[in-house]
Amino acid sequence: MDTISNMIIQIKNAGNAGHDRVSVPYSKLNHSIAEVLKKEGFIKGSEIKTEKPTRPNSRSGEKKKVLSIDLFMENRVPKIKGVERISKPSKRVYKKSYEIRAIKNGYGALIISTPSGIMSGREAKKQKVGGEALFSIW
pLDDT score recorded for residue 59:
62
pLDDT score recorded for residue 63:
84
Max CA separation in the chain (angstroms) = 52
The answer to whether position 5 is within a domain reads no
Whole-number percent of the chain with pLDDT over 90:
83
Burial (0-12, 13-18, 19+ Cβ within 10 Å), 30: buried
Total domains present in the chain = 1
Is the pLDDT reported for residue 134 higher than 80?
yes
The answer to whether position 64 is within a domain reads yes
The answer to whether position 6 is within a domain reads no
Mean pLDDT confidence for 82-109: 96
Task: Identify residue 77 by its one-letter amino acid code.
Answer: V
Is the pLDDT reported for residue 106 higher than 80?
yes
The answer to whether position 1 is within a domain reads no
* Total-model pTM: 0.89
Looking up residue 59, the CATH number of its domain turns out to be 3.30.1490.10
pLDDT score recorded for residue 116:
95
pLDDT score recorded for residue 103:
95
Q: Model confidence over 11-28: pLDDT tens digits?
A: 999 999 999 999 999 999
